[in-house]
Amino acid sequence: MENSRNRPGLSRIEPAPGQESVWDYPRPPRVEPSSERIVVTLGGRVIADTTDSVRVLETSHPPVYYLPRSAFVDGSLILAAGSSFCEFKGAAKYLSVVSPDATAERAAWYYPTPAKGFESLADKVAVYPSAMDSCVVAGETVQAQEGDFYGGWITSRVVGPFKGGAGTTGW
């Protein structure tokens, strides 16, 4: 298993009771259901609220929460230009997220036809916490993963160090 101890100058943070280390997450990633309440706001409005999500857990990354499309307010997800490819999950498409008072361009993504093993991502959408007013997991406001590519959700439940910031692309 990939481990931060194999990275020069990188030191794994030992998790306290009730915490998870992202260095214990697998590669390829694991998808697991979550019943934690997720609330996403944009422009001062709740645009998604659910207790039916999945977490994608991948070595060195904070969890990414994928919410059912049905958890989003009607009209809040608009197809945006561009796509990307994950070697594990497949081809992703982007969405802009809108509320009556704000628009976050290309602030969400989904997998129209997830790769084998990731079928549970079908009809689910992930958002970049950095582009939202807030993303809340079980009452705790998340911190966004650094960088402009990954969309991890950092809570007190997870410890790093986390991939995404300057100088971490080679991890």
What confidence tens digit (pLDDT) does each residue in 122-154 have? 999 999 999 999 999 999 999 999 987 789 999
pLDDT 10s digits, 22-79: 999 999 999 999 999 999 999 999 999 999 999 999 999 999 999 999 999 999 999 9
Tell me whether residue 28 is exposed, middle or buried, using C-beta atoms within 10 angstroms of its C-beta: 0 to 12, 13 to 18, 19 or more: middle
Q: Is the dihedral of CA 63, 107, 113, 168 positive or negative?
A: negative
Half-sphere exposure of 156 (CA within 13 A, CB side): 7
Which residue segment(s) compose the domain that 33 sits in? 14-159
* Exposure of 89 in the CB half-sphere (CA atoms within 13 A): 24
**164 within domain boundaries:** no
CATH number, domain at 119? 2.170.150.40
- 76 with 47: CB under 8 angstroms? yes
> pTM for this structure?
0.93
Query: In sequence order, what are the residues at sequence separation of 6 or more whose Cβ sits closer than 8 angstroms to the Cβ of residue 81?
Result: 94, 106
Provide the number of structural domains found in the chain. 1
